[in-house]
Structure 1
């Protein structure tokens, strides 16, 4: 398990770093953007239009995209086409593998220390 863990991180490490940075930015950037003007958005609604109660109606975003949309496309790999989406998906699966294998390796180390009666406890120095 340790060998797989180490070899896969060599390939997926850079992609996971990319995904985590773009994901973090997509959450933090909205804090610093100006809030949308609801009055201006309401003025764009055609006369006589009533939004159904079962729906959440919003005006179309302005052309040219937004920084949030761009970050989402970079985060998901959509900006790089089908290959980017495939790599992002495989990187997500790799993160699941790293989590499970990391816990597995920790439990094995903990069990070995417990069996040898070295230092009891979940953590050691």
Structure 2
């Protein structure tokens, strides 16, 4: 198992780093932009009522205009999901997601097996060791 864990981590490490960075940016950028952009006044109809009222449980945003920094949010999503690279990118992003599941279970399995091995040899007990 250790050999598979090591080799797959080399193969998928770069892709997982890409997914982690673009995923984090796709969450942080909207928070930053919402705090820095001025709030627009709601449009009014001829009779003075608002043209659109956002439902209370939703956060409504207008579609970004050309040159608006909020357009980066969609680009980040496409980079994160692999859609920018076509069907091959989506397949690689999906495989990277499956590899994260594999790394979680295999890493836990490796840790437990090393912990049991140390316990059987009567070495230093504990959760962390050098």
Relative to the length of structure 1, the TM-score reads: 0.81
C-alpha separation between the residues in 2 aligned to 1:122 and 1:59?
48
C-alpha separation between the residues in 1 aligned to 2:61 and 2:37?
15
Gaps of 5+ in 2: none
Higher relative contact order, structure no. (Cα contacts within 8 Å, ≥ 6 residues apart): 1
Map 1:29-68 → 2, pairs under 5 A: 29-33=29-33, 34-35=36-37, 37-39=39-41, 42-43=42-43, 56=58, 58=60, 60-64=62-66, 66-68=71-73
- Contact kept, 8 Å, 2:54 with 2:60, in 1: the verdict is no
1:60 Cα deviation (Å)? 4.8
Q: Which of 91, 110, 124 is matched with 1:105 structurally?
A: 110
Matched, 1:90 2:95: yes
* 1:51–1:27 CA distance, 2 compared to 1 (3 A): closer
1:117 Cα deviation (Å)? 0.7
- Contact kept, 8 Å, 2:30 with 2:73, in 1: the verdict is yes
Alignment deviations for residues 54-81 of structure 1 (CA, whole Å, 9 cap, x no partner): 9859465134471111111111111111
Q: How many matched pairs?
A: 122
* 1:72–1:52 CA distance, 2 compared to 1 (3 A): closer
Q: What is the RMSD computed on CA atoms of the aligned residues?
A: 2.5
- Which residue in the other structure is 1:115 paired with? 120
C-alpha separation between the residues in 1 aligned to 2:31 and 2:55?
30
Gaps of 5+ in 1: none
- Which residue in the other structure is 1:8 paired with? 8
Relative to the length of structure 2, the TM-score reads: 0.78
